[in-house]
Structure 1
Amino acid sequence: MQALSVKGKKLRLVIDQEAIKKRVEELAQEIDRDMGEPFIAVGLLKGSFIFLADLIRSVSLPVKVDFMWVSSYGSGTVSEGHVRVLKDISMNIQGEKVLLVDDILDTGYTLKEIIQILKMREPKILKTCVLLDKYERRKVEVKVDYTGFYVPDAFLVGYGLDWDEEGRNLRGIYAVEGL
């Protein structure tokens, strides 16, 4: 069996697809319990799209979906520290229950800024859900309501996460070695 690689770098499995599936189902149960009624899920593109799709299929409540496309990495492997909104949500979230879904929480800059943007639109409730939390890299404090996994400080790809658009389609989550 050939070793997996992205951009010529070997990959090491961090979280397999079965563990992801199990945790997504657990998160969906928590969200069902806490939300208690229909809500709008806002996914941060591009990284969250696979996680968001699996999450909403596991939720039993009615859910509407919208997206924001934001960028803080460019083509590098480290957050640039400033957030660019490339596509805003199209739904009016005023007075609505909203779940903001992101793939990975790293420095906290992106999530904190997007939370501030969405709060200005006066949702009834705004909760946050991240698949991965790389806590040791945090630069700003951000409150997260639902966390899938706490992960080490490594550059990760797979299950929607990419390195310059490569690796999103991998079913597990992998650390890129040799960076």
Structure 2
Amino acid sequence: MFTADLVRELNFNISMDTISCPHTPGDNQNNSTIVYHENVPLKNQHVIVIDDAIESGGTMKRLTAYLADNFEIKSLSIATLFVKPSRVDIPFKQYYALEMPNDDLLVGYGLPWNNQLRNVPYISKVVK
């Protein structure tokens, strides 16, 4: 949902593609596979990776390293709706809308909780 709203606000030509970088909390991130079919060529392009939330930054670090190491891209940036800045250390330019407190778990507007509640049209904090 964040991606759809974001691209509607861009005033320049874009190409979009998806990349799968699955991560389940508690899993070893280094063992999960990045899947990208390169339907849109990345060589000599400015690439913006869009994600709904970055919590620890581990998956995003792995993904951005993969893109930087495997494609001759001009630049690489990250755009996200939420970030937990005290936990994230990513060596690329980051754009984010809101900071999320470290202990908060948010759902709705595409953010899942146990792979549910993505379709809730607003953002809500899960109270444990």
TM bucket normalised to smaller: 0.7 to 0.9
Matched, 1:101 2:50: yes
Q: TM-score, normalised by structure 1?
A: 0.63
Secondary structure of the corresponding residue to residue 65 of structure 2: helix
Does structure 2 retain, via aligned residues, the 8 Å contact 1:81–1:109? no
1:65 alignment partner, SS class? coil
- Look up the match of 2:12: 61
Structure number with the higher strand fraction is 1
Note if 1:80 corresponds to 2:31.
Answer: no
Does structure 1 retain, via aligned residues, the 8 Å contact 2:76–2:93? no
1:145 is aligned to 2:97: no
1:107 partner letter: S
What is the distance in 2 between the residues matched to 1:102 and 1:144?
14
Percent of matched pairs sharing the same residue: 28
Deviation at 1:100, TM superposition (A): 0.7
**Which of 1 and 2 has higher RCO (CA within 8 Å, sep 6+)?**
1
Alignment partners' CA distance in 2, 1:54 and 1:144? 21
TM-superposed deviation, 1:172: 1.8
Tell me, in whole angstroms, the C-alpha distance in 2 between the residues paired with 1:79 and 1:102. Answer: 20
SS of the equivalent of 2:29 reads coil
Which ranges of structure 1 fall in alignment gaps of 5 or more residues? 1-49
Offset of residue 130 of structure 1: 1.1
- Gaps spanning 5+ residues in structure 2: where? none
Looking at structure 2, the residues matched to 79 and 173 of structure 1 have their Cα atoms a distance apart, in angstroms, of 24
Over aligned residue pairs, what C-alpha RMSD do you find? 1.7
